[in-house]
Amino acid sequence: MTIRIGIMGYGNLGRGVECALKHNPDMKLTAVFTRRDPETVKILTEGVKIYRAEEAASMAGEIDVLILCGGSATDLPVQTPEYAKYFNVVDSFDTHAKIPEHFAAVDQAARESGHVAVISAGWDPGMFSLSRVYGEAVLPDGANYTFWGKGVSQGHSDAIRRIKGVKDARQYTIPVESALEAIRSGETPEFTTRQMHTRECFVVAEEGADKEAIEREIVTMPNYFADYDTTVHFISEEEMKRDHSKLPHGGFVLRSGRTGWELEHKHIIEYSLKLDSNPEFTSSVIAACARAAFRMKNEGQTGCKTILDIPPAYLSAKSGEELRAHCL
Amino acid sequence: MTIRIGIMGYGNLGRGVECALKHNPDMKLTAVFTRRDPETVKILTEGVKIYRAEEAASMAGEIDVLILCGGSATDLPVQTPEYAKYFNVVDSFDTHAKIPEHFAAVDQAARESGHVAVISAGWDPGMFSLSRVYGEAVLPDGANYTFWGKGVSQGHSDAIRRIKGVKDARQYTIPVESALEAIRSGETPEFTTRQMHTRECFVVAEEGADKEAIEREIVTMPNYFADYDTTVHFISEEEMKRDHSKLPHGGFVLRSGRTGWELEHKHIIEYSLKLDSNPEFTSSVIAACARAAFRMKNEGQTGCKTILDIPPAYLSAKSGEELRAHCL
């Protein structure tokens, strides 16, 4: 039985989900919902209709899982509990500090309506969370390290764009190679923020803007840049378009741990991602979680789940028999 | 509530489980069972008794999970279904080709008795299986690659020891670095066996043995060595003891996949292990699976499971709330 998927919100992420569905033959795109005028939205899949967001609830019977592709700041805290009343849902809520609060709101809505809601699907939170939890579970004596990059951070790029005199900006988060090497060699250092990542910024300034002032404002910006070694490059609009239009990302999760009666043996677990497209990889994780949500619902489960609650086999299109015979 | 663990079989693996339990305060070692004379077995944990294997069934009420530390060739195919009649059990059955058969036998026994049995816990099968399944689930268009090493292969070492004139032997499996690099660069090559791993053998020959004949017999041995580039070093007993008494291992699982409407974006997922002690790491995975078996049983589940069926959170000593707040 093909799993019928709806997409709520058609930006980078919604488009990524649409692409992922094309390559997962056990799922199909059934409807796209938008807050824009549906007439103005063009999607890639032929024969699929675009609806106004308000029409979603009335289509509950035609959609097995609704994927929420809004932002974590203002969209998802409202949308996920709301749509969990009508649908099994998946979101990619990624404000780490607010996950417990979001979980509680979504769990209540999903339990009351008898649906399954998977929140925080993606790679961090998501695949990286899995690595942190598996690493700690199998090596309880040890330390976890998470490095991001090299990749474009949307939040940091946006922060630069809000500076007066900045026309466009792209910020790359870059892990410090010597920090990675220290962990790989078996050390368990305690790093400062500055020792783990550097930040590289490419900025298109408006004509006549004070570049020194812009640079100063970037490198001293609290939370975003002040605690990092930050370099700023001013480039032209053409260079921005030519060299920085992609959204690569990735990173590393390492667990350094010890076993043995006197903890005499060292072990290093390393998980890394090298992604050409951050939104498309996130979307691919979301698609796999939609499959799991559908299965959990069919088993009679309800409530809010994260990827930590999902048996890995549920994410796979293969049956348990196939997995045991070919992947285990 | 502390989880009461029994260990069946006290070799490298049983000792590793004992060490793992010391560092997992929510579990405790309750009994060790052996086929040897209990008087001759010395364990590390004070105050824990050693029993004859035949006494195990009579202690079913005192043990929450029995960990089976026998070998996959002859012990576990008999032991796991047998003890699943009386206990929740965990084993590390690692004969990949026979997992479906073992699963079926254990599943029947565990369902009939109402217990949970986790089979094939360890790192391959185990953590590596997880990486293969997650990688394929989130990047369905792509290829999986598994490399082992650098590390000691017990099976290959044993095969050399059976050759006439060989007193002792240690075989290291070594991944071919250029093959790893090709995958990391985004290629999805099809490798021959020879292109992925080399084999390095350290051999202590008996006095007067024909070393050329031994080397020829090693490098031409079907299945074990004939398909690999194999090097053989003859060393003294002292060198063997000094340089090759440890059991390190590890390896790499890579998923190279593509996303996008026309599969235009590449992604590389890499999971690697660098282990000082193969048996102790395997034991640590087993201990986490024992925790999960206990929880699944308490939830009312029964039957045979693999790590692919276990929600990751069940492996962790932390609660769902703690995991969402700190690890997700």
Q: Mind listing the pLDDT tens digit for each residue in A255-299?
A: 999 999 999 999 999 999 999 999 999 999 999 999 999 999 999
What is the distance between the alpha carbons of residues A73 and A66, in angstroms, rounded to a whole number?
19
For residue B84, what pLDDT is reported? 98
| The B229-234 sheet, strands edge to edge | B151-152, B166-175, B197-205, B229-234
Question: From the list A99, A140, A316, which residue is nearest B324 (CB)?
Answer: A99
Q: Which residue has the tokens 């490399």?
A: B147
Instruction: Please indicate if any CB of chain B lies within 8 Å of the CB of A129.
Output: yes
What pLDDT is attached to residue A110?
98
Percent of chain B at pLDDT exceeding 70: 100
**3-class secondary structure per residue, B49-101:** EEEEHHHHHHHHHHCCEEEECCCCCCHHHHHHHHHCCCCEEECCCCCHHHHHH
Which residues in chain A are closer than 8 Å to B100, comparing Cβ atoms?
Answer: 321, 324-325
Q: How far apart are the first and last CA of chain B?
A: 25
Provide the 8-state DSSP code for B115.
-
**Cβ pair B259:A271 closer than 8 A:** no
Q: What is the C-alpha radius of gyration for chain B, rounded to an integer number of angstroms?
A: 22
For residues A229-236, average pLDDT: 98
Q: Is A323 on the interface with B (CB under 8 A)?
A: yes
Contact B317, A295 (CB under 8 A): no
Exposure b/e, A94-131, CB count within 10 A at least 16 = b: bebeebeebbebbbebbeebebbbbbbbbbbbbbbbbb
Torsion of CA B159, B33, A264, B253, to 10 degrees: 50
Given the structure tokens 């677990």, which residue do they identify? A269
User: Whole-number mean pLDDT of chain B?
Assistant: 97
Interface contact flag, A16 B259, Cβ < 8 Å: yes
- The distance from CA B186 to its chain's CA centroid, rounded to whole angstroms, is 29
Flag whether residue A282 sits within 8 Å of chain B, measured between CB atoms: no
Residue of A nearest to B44 (CA): A261
Cβ of B100 within 8 Å of Cβ of A324? The answer is yes
For residue B151, give how far its alpha carbon lies from the nearest alpha carbon of chain A (Å). 13
- Tell me the residue type at A265: H
**Are A327 and B309 in contact (CB < 8 Å)?**
no
Task: Reply yes or no on whether the pLDDT at A1 is more than 90.
Answer: no
| Confidence category of residue A193, pLDDT binned at 50, 70, 90 | very high
Please list every residue in chain A whose beta carbon sits closer than 8 Å to the beta carbon of residue B107: none
Tell me the pLDDT tens digit for each residue of B32-59: 999 999 999 999 999 999 999 999 999 9
| Nearest CB partner across the interface for A280, out of B144, B259, B315 | B259
pLDDT band at B19 (very low <50, low <70, confident <90, very high): very high
- From B22, B133, B271, residue closest to A323, measured CB to CB: B133
Give the closest residue to B156 by CA, choosing from B255, B230, B207, B104: B230
Mean pLDDT of B147-157: 95
Note which residues in 102-121 of chain A have CB less than 8 A from chain B: 103, 120
B145 bridge partner residues: B254
| CA A93 to chain CA centroid, nearest Å | 8
Contact assessment for residue B257 and residue A24, using Cβ atoms and an 8 Å cutoff:
no
Read off the pLDDT of each residue in A189-197 and give the average, rounded to a whole number. Answer: 96
Contacts of B106 in chain A (CB under 8 A): none
Q: Reduced to 3 states, what is the DSSP secondary structure of residue B276?
A: coil
- In whole angstroms, how far apart are CA A195 and each of A175, A190, A224? 9, 9, 15
Kindly determine whether residue B136 and residue A283, on different chains, have CB atoms separated by under 8 Å. no
pLDDT, tens digit, for every residue of A158-184?
A: 999 999 999 999 999 999 999 999 999
Q: Chain-wide mean pLDDT for chain A? A: 97
| A31: region left, alpha or beta (phi > 0 left; psi from -120 to 50 alpha) | beta
DSSP for A151-189 reads EE-HHHHHHHHTSTTEEEEEEEEEE-HHHHHHHHTT--P
Q: What is the 3-state secondary structure (H, E, C) of B141-176?
A: CEEEEEEECCEECHHHHHHHHCCCCEEEEEEEEEEC
pLDDT at B76: 97
What is the token pair recorded at B161?
A: 């020891």
C-alpha distance from B13 to closest chain A C-alpha (Å): 11
Tell me if chain B has a CB within 8 Å of the CB of A245. Answer: no
pLDDT band, very low/low/confident/very high, at A203 (cuts 50, 70, 90): very high
CB-closest option in B19, B266, B275 to A276: B266
Between A223 and B107, the higher pLDDT residue: B107
From CA B311, how far away is CA B328, in angstroms rounded? 14
Strand order in the sheet with A229-234: A151-152, A166-175, A197-205, A229-234
Residue with tokens 């939609």, as numbered in its chain: A290
- DSSP character for A190? P
CA-CA distance, B288 to A298, in Å (whole number)? 28
Q: 3-state DSSP call for residue A32?
A: strand
A300 and B CB contact within 8 Å? no
Show residues of chain A in contact with B283, CB under 8 Å: 259
Nearest to B276 among A136, A265, A276 (CB): A265
Cβ neighbours, 10 Å, residue B73: 11
CB contact under 8 A, B100 and A317: no
Record: contact A260-B19, CB cut-off 8 A: yes
Distance from CA of B245 to the nearest CA of A (A): 14
The percent of residues above 90 in pLDDT, for chain A, comes to: 98
Query: Cβ of A283 under 8 Å from any chain B Cβ?
Result: yes
Closest to A144 measured CA to CA, from A183, A177, A182: A183
Question: Choosing among B258, B324, B326, which should be mutated to test the A contact, i.e. which has the most A CBs within 10 A?
Answer: B324
Task: State how far the alpha carbon of A134 is from the alpha carbons of A121, A293, B67, B68, B312, in Å.
Answer: 17, 21, 20, 22, 7
Task: Report the residue of chain A nearest B17, measured CA to CA.
Answer: A260
Instruction: Count A/B contacts: CB-CB distance under 8 Å.
Output: 210
b/e map of B268-278 (b: 16 or more CB within 10 Å)? bbbbbbbbbbb
Contacts of residue B324, Cβ cutoff 8 Å, sequence gap at least 6: A99, A100, A103, A306, A308
> Could you tell me the pLDDT band of residue B1, with boundaries at 50, 70 and 90?
confident
Residue B17, min C-alpha distance to chain A (Å)? 9
User: Is residue A101 within 8 angstroms of chain B, CB to CB?
Assistant: no
A244 has a pLDDT exceeding 90: yes
Q: How confident is the model at residue B316 (pLDDT cuts 50, 70, 90)?
A: very high
Q: What is the DSSP letter of A309?
A: G
Residues 157-186 of B with CB under 8 A from A: 184
**pLDDT at residue B175, as a whole number:** 98
Neighbouring CB atoms inside 10 A of B319's CB total 10
d(CA A14, CA A39): 17
Q: Is B251 on the interface with A (CB under 8 A)?
A: no
Is residue A70 within 8 A of residue A8, CB to CB? The reply is yes
Rounded to 10 degrees, the C-alpha dihedral B204/B210/B211/B212 comes to -160
Query: What tens digit of pLDDT does each residue of A76-127 get?
Result: 999 999 999 999 999 999 999 999 999 999 999 999 999 999 999 999 999 9
Query: How near does any CA of chain A get to the CA of B208, in Å?
Result: 38
Output b/e per residue, A30-67; b: 16+ Cβ within 10 A.
bbbbbeeebeeeebeeeebebbebeebeebeeebbbbb
Tell me the average pLDDT across B172-198.
96
